[in-house]
Amino acid sequence: MDQQHAYRRQLRTYAIGFVSALVLTCAAFATVRFHLAPPQTAIGIVFALGLVQIVVHFRFFLHIDLERSARDDLQLILFSTLITLLMVGGTLVILANLHHRMM
């Protein structure tokens, strides 16, 4: 009976994740498809929705949250996120700057 309860609870987690991911995806596509905003703003909205969707996937599909996760794993993920941001951000800033100077 207890297992049955736990099963229902986790099934609901996946279902909530699926539905919210679906809504976020449709919102992002609709913003671009129906030109709901000028291009630059639309890109901003899409990126923001994408970030939220990534968090939703982590939370509901990969079951990671800040309070209840195993500590080592959380540190690994946060550290990788930091490295990723540094590398992507650094690459974009440096090469955009270079591009600017070459013009």
Partner 1 sequence: MSADEIKHAGLNLQHADPMTHEKAGAGIFGFWVFLMSDAVLFALLFATYGVMLRGTAGGPVPHEVYEMKSAFIETLILLASSFTFGLASLAMKYEHKQHQLQAWLGVTLLLGLLFIGWEFHDFASMAAKGEVPSRSGYLSAFFALVSTHLLHVTAGCIWAVVMIAKIRTFGLDARVKINVLRLGLFWHFLDIIWVGIFSVVYLQGLA
Q: How many residues are present in the chain? A: 103
Site for partner 1 in 28-57 (CB under 8 A): 28-29, 31-33, 39, 42-43, 46-47, 49-50, 53-54, 57
- Please list, in sequence order, all residues whose beta carbon lies within 8 angstroms of the beta carbon of residue 58, skipping any fewer than 6 positions away: 64
Q: Which of 68, 100, 102, 103 binds partner 1 (CB under 8 A)?
A: 68
Q: Does 95 engage in binding with partner 1 (CB under 8 A)? A: yes
**φ and ψ at 66, to 5 degrees?**
-70, -25
Nearest Cα neighbor of 60 from 4, 1, 5, 9 is 9
Is 73 a binding residue for partner 1 by CB under 8 A? The answer is: yes
Angle at 11 between CA 70 and CA 4, to 5 degrees: 95
Residues that bind partner 1 (CB under 8 A): 2-3, 6-7, 10-11, 14-15, 17-18, 21-22, 25, 28-29, 31-33, 39, 42-43, 46-47, 49-50, 53-54, 57-58, 61-64, 68-70, 72-74, 76-77, 80, 83-84, 87-88, 91-92, 95-96, 99
